[in-house]
Structure 1
Amino acid sequence: MPVTLGISAGPALAGDEFREYRRRAIFACGKLDPQNQDHSVLAQFPLVVSASQWSVLCRAAESLEVELLDAERRLLERPDLLGLLGLPRKFAREVRRIDAAACDSGPRVTRYDFHPTAGGWACSEANCDVPGGYIESSALAAIMAEHHPALETCGDPAGALCAALGCGPVALVHATGYIDDAQVAAFLARRLAAAGIEGVPCAPDHLRFDRDGARVEIGGSARAVRAVFRFFPAEWLPNLGRGAAWRRFFASLGVALCNPATALLSQSKRAPIAWQELGLETPAWRTWTPEVRDPRGVPRGERDAWVLKPALGRVGAMVSIEGVSSARQMRSARWWSRFLPRRWAAQRRFVATPVNTPDGPRYPTVGVFVIDGRAAGAYGRVAARPLIDWRAQDAPVLVAASRDDAPARVAPARGGLHVA
C-alpha cells in the first residue's frame, strides 16, 4: 500500500484474530464501548508510522507544549483577556480569583492531534483538559503489536501517567454516569495497582478538601489522597453547585492536581486569539497549526475556506466544514457563530490526505500524548471522511523499526486539518 508521509495502514487482522482482539479489548482491557450503533469502534488494522516520522511528531508535540504552558501562565496574569476564550461566566469568575502559582501542583497531560496533509504534518488542536485515549494507546496498542512482530508500540501513556502521579493514593475523578468515562477510571485504577499505587475512582462531589489535602468520601468511609486525576470536563465543574468543592480543582495546596481546571484556558479553540493579544511569539504553533480567528473576522466571500468550531467543543461535536457537514449543520453553525461569536472559533481549512487501508481510503490522526513535557505515546483514529468525530475508529499506532523512509515535512505555516 502507498505510504503517506511515513504513515500507512498495516495488514488487517483475520476473522478469528480480530474476534480475539475484540474479546481481549473488552474483558482484559475494560474497553466497554467497542460498538457505536451498528458501527465498530475498533479498526481491524493498525496505523504504522516510521521511526523517523515518529521522532518528528514527538519533537513537535513537546515544542507545542512548552509554548502552550507559557501562554497559559501568562493568561492567568491577564484576567482582562479571559472574555476572549468563550468560558462559562462562573468559571471565568473563579479563574480571576485564584493564585496562578498554585496551579502547577501536579503533572500536566496534553494530547496533540497530528494529521498528514498534502504539504506535510499538521496539528489541528491540543486536548489540554481531559485528553482521552489511554486504553487505546496503551493496552490495545500492545495487543495489536503481538500480531505484528515487525512493529512496536510507540509508548505507554497510561504507564507514564501512573509514574507521574507519584506514590498515591490517587483520586480518579470522572463523570460516573458515562460508561466511556468510567472505563478510563477503572483502567487507570488497575494500572496504578500494578505499580503498587492505590487508585480511588470517584465522582467530583465525592472529594473533600481541607488545609492538609484531600480525601474521597463514599458511603460513609473516607480515604485520604495525595493526587487528583480529573477526567471530568472543567466547564462542567460550576454545575456541581455549592455543595461540591469544585473550586479546589483550580488550585489546591497539599494535593497534586492533574490537570488543574485552568487547563481549560488552553483547551478553548479561541486560545490563539488571546495569545495574539498577549503579543507572544509562538513559532511552533505558527509552524504546525492552522490560523484561528474570531468568526467575525472571516470575510464573507472566504467562508468556505474556514472551519467553524465551538470554543469548548469536544469529540467533534458541531465542527462544521463546508462540503463535509450537512447543509443544515452549516446553517446552524453560521447562525450561532454570528449570534454568539465569542463561543465559536474559525480555523483556516486545509486539505487532509487519506491513506489506503484494508477498508478503503481513511483519514488518520495521530494524537501524541505529552506528559510532564515528554512525548509518551499516541492515540490513533481513522475516519471515512476528513472529520474526526464519534464515527471515527480506534486504530492503534505502531512504529516501524526502520529509519529508511522519506524525510519529514512540515505543512506550510498556518496550514492544518479540519478535525475535532
Structure 2
Amino acid sequence: MSPSGSPSGVAPPPATPAHRWGLSTRPWGLGEAERSELLRALRFDWFKWDTYSAGHFTMIPEVMVVPEALHREVVAAVEGLSAALSRFEDRVHADVAILDRLGIPRPLHPLLAREPQRTLQCARYDLFPCDDGRLMVSEFNEDVPGGFNETVGLPHLMGDPGPGCRWEAGLRDALVTAFADAETVGLLYATAFSEDLQHMLILDRWFTEAGHRTVRGSPAHLTRGWSGRPRILGTPVDGAFRFYPGEWMPRLPNFGTWGRMGARLPMMNPLRHMVRQSKKVFEVWREVMADDAETLALLDAHAPRTLPFEADGISRWRDEQPRWVLKRAFGRMGDAVIMGSLVTPKVWDEALKEAQAKPAEWCLQECFQVTPLEFGAGSLFPTLGAFVVNGRFAGYYSRAAARPFLTHEALHVATVVQLL
C-alpha cells in the first residue's frame, strides 16, 4: 500500500477529500504499575515474548475504536472474499498452468491436486481504509497468519472495552470449535523460531483446555504409522495446525512422506491455500472467475490492480516508479515487497533487475492511498486486520505504521467496536 504516485511527466489528478471512516483512538488509561503488570502477564501467561523488539515497544498503548457500521462492512468484506477465494481455489488447485502463474513451486503441484476440499481455515486479511472510501486488501495471509496471543490476550487482560464498546475476540473459540472432531491435534511449526513457538504454546493451551491431546513438532516429524495413520514424533494425530510456510515444504527431509500421505491429514491450513496466499493471485483471479459476478464485484471493491512482471516492460516500471509496488509471489513480513514511492531510483532499479532475472516469480501492484489516523504519537497509517476461521470473521489483529507499508516493524493496536 502507498500513496499513489503518478507516471513520470504526468500531472496528478486534483486532490479529493479523504473518506471519513469514523475511526478514533483512545489511550489504554493504565498507570505505570498496571501497564507493567499487563505486559508481564502478556509475556508469561500469554507467551507474547516479543512485546519489545530491537529496543522498541511493539504495541501502541491505545485502543482503536471501530464504528459498528464499519465493523459490519469489514465482516461482509472478509467473509465474502473468503468464499470467493474458495471458489477460485476449487477451479485452479489442480491446474498446472495456473499454479505456475501463481509462483507455486512445481514439487507442490501434485500435493495441491490431491488434497480434498476441507473447511479448515485460519486466515487474516488486512484491510486498509483508503481515501476513496474503499477497504483495500493488498494480499491474503492464508498460510501462516500470526497474532493469536495479543488478539485474545489483550482483551482478556484489559477487561472493560470502554463505554459503549465491545471486544471482538472470538479467535480462541473459533479455532477450538474447528477441531472439535480431532482427539489429538499436531501443532506443526518452524521450530527454529521463537515467535512461531509462542503461537504454538497458546494453541497448545487452548486445545488442551478443550480436552484435546496435542503434540508439537516440525512438519519434518510426520511419519506413517503401521496402520497408515499419520504420526507426529510417533504420536498418532487426527488433525494438524500448520504454522510453517508452504513454499518451504519441498525442502523437508520427509517431503516424500508428505507426497504419499499429506492429503490424508486434515490440516489447517491445507496446502491448497497457497493459491490464495500467492501475491500474484490478483493477477489471475479476475481472468479465471470472469463468469462469477459476485467475485468481480468484490475485486472491484477491494482489490488493487495487479500486473505480471514482464521483462520487456522494465522501462515503463522505471518511469512510473511511484505508482507501483513490486512483489515476489511468496515472502514474509514484507521481505520481498518494494514500494516504488518509498525507495530511491537506485534501489528500485536494483529490484527491477532482480525481478527481471526470474520474471515469473514477480508481479506489480498499483498503489492506493491509505487514510491516516491520529494516535497519541502522531499520524499513523492503520490497517484493520481481520481473522477468518472456516470462512467466518473471528476477531481483530489491527496494526499501524509510520509509513503506509506494513512490515515486521508495524505496531499492534487493540481494537474495539463502538456500539450503535
TM-score tier by shorter-chain length is: 0.7 to 0.9
| Residue pair 2:141, 2:277 contacting (<8 A) in 1 also | yes
**Aligned runs of 1:308-323 on 2, under 5 Å?**
308-323=326-341
User: After the TM superposition, which of the residue ranges 323-332 and 41-50 deviates more from structure 2?
Assistant: 323-332
1:151 maps to a residue whose letter is: C
Aligned to 2:274: 264
Cα 1:209–1:273 change in 2 (3 A) is: farther
1:152 aligns with: 166
Shift of 1:295: 2.3
Establish whether residue 8 from structure 1 lines up as the match of residue 11 from structure 2.
Answer: no
Counterparts of 1:224 and 1:344 in 2: how far apart (Å)? 40
- Take 1:326 and 1:19, find their aligned partners in 2: how far apart are those partners? 41
In structure 1, the residue corresponding to 2:65 is in which secondary structure?
strand
> Is 1:176 aligned with 2:191?
yes
Aligned length: 391
Alignment of 1:102-251 (within 5 A): 102-105=115-118, 107-120=120-133, 121-146=135-160, 148=162, 150-167=164-181, 168-209=183-224, 212-217=228-233, 222-242=234-254, 245-247=257-259, 251=263
Aligned match of 1:42 in 59, 74, 77?
59
Structure 1 residue aligned with 2:13: none
Partner of 1:67: 84
Quick check: 345-354 or 200-209, which moved more?
A: 200-209
**Separation of aligned partners in 1, 2:309 and 2:418:** 41
CA distance in 1, matches of 2:411, 2:371: 17
For residues 380-408 of structure 1, give each alpha carbon's deviation from its aligned partner in whole angstroms, at most 9, with x where no partner exists.
1111111110111111211112x2xxxxx
The reply to whether residue 330 of structure 1 matches residue 348 of structure 2 is: yes
Measure how far apart 1:377 and its partner are.
Answer: 0.8
- Supply the distance in 1 between the matched residues of 2:260 and 2:280 (Cα, whole angstroms): 25
Give the 5 Å matches for 1:387-398.
387-398=405-416
Report deviation, 1:306: 1.3
Q: Point out where structure 2 has 5 or more consecutive residues left out of the alignment.
A: 1-17
Distance 1:183 1:248, change over 3 A: farther
1:289 matched to 2:342: no
How far does residue 181 in structure 1 lie from its aligned partner after superposition? 0.3
Offset, 1:93:
5.5
On the 8 A contact 2:67/2:418 being kept in 1, the answer is yes
Moved more, 103-112 or 48-57: 103-112
How far off is 1:267 after superposition?
0.5
Q: What RMSD in Å do the two structures reach over aligned CA positions?
A: 2.3
Secondary structure, in 3 states, of the residue corresponding to 1:395? strand
Q: Which secondary structure state, in structure 1, belongs to the residue aligned with residue 27 of structure 2?
A: coil
Deviation at 1:149, TM superposition (A): 5.4
Q: Distance in 2 between matches of 1:164 and 1:127?
A: 18
Cα deviations by residue, 1:15-34 (Å, 9 ceiling, x for unpaired): 33322221111011111111
Distance 1:16 1:93 in 2: 55
Alignment-derived partner of residue 362 in structure 1:
380
1:244 deviation in Å? 6.3
Question: Are the counterparts in 2 of residues 363 and 385 from structure 1 also a CA contact under 8 Å?
Answer: yes
Is 1:249–1:260's contact at 8 Å kept on the other side of the alignment? no
2:224 touches 2:231 (CA, 8 Å); kept in 1? yes
Contact 2:19 2:132 in 1 (8 A): no
Q: Which amino acid aligns with 2:278?
A: S
TM-score normalised over the length of structure 1 = 0.87
Contact 1:362/1:383 (8 A) holds in 2:
yes
Q: Does 1:19 align with 2:36?
A: yes
- Whether contact under 8 Å (2:321, 2:341) holds in the other structure is no
How far off is 1:226 after superposition? 0.8
Q: Against the structure 1 CA distance between its residues 146 and 202, is the aligned structure 2 distance closer, same or farther, given a 3 Å change threshold?
A: farther
Secondary structure, aligned partner of 1:43: strand
Query: Would the alpha carbon gap of residues 372 and 241 (structure 1) be closer, same or farther in structure 2, given more than 3 Å must change?
Result: same
Counterpart amino acid of 1:230?
R
Which 5+ residue runs of structure 1 have no aligned equivalent?
404-420
CA contact (8 A) 1:173 1:202 kept: yes
CA contact (8 A) 1:51 1:400 kept: yes
After TM superposition, the score normalised by the length of structure 2 is 0.87
Cα offset for 1:361?
A: 0.9
Aligned letter for 1:110?
Answer: A
Over 3 Å counting, the alpha-carbon distance change for 1:288 and 1:243 in structure 2 is closer
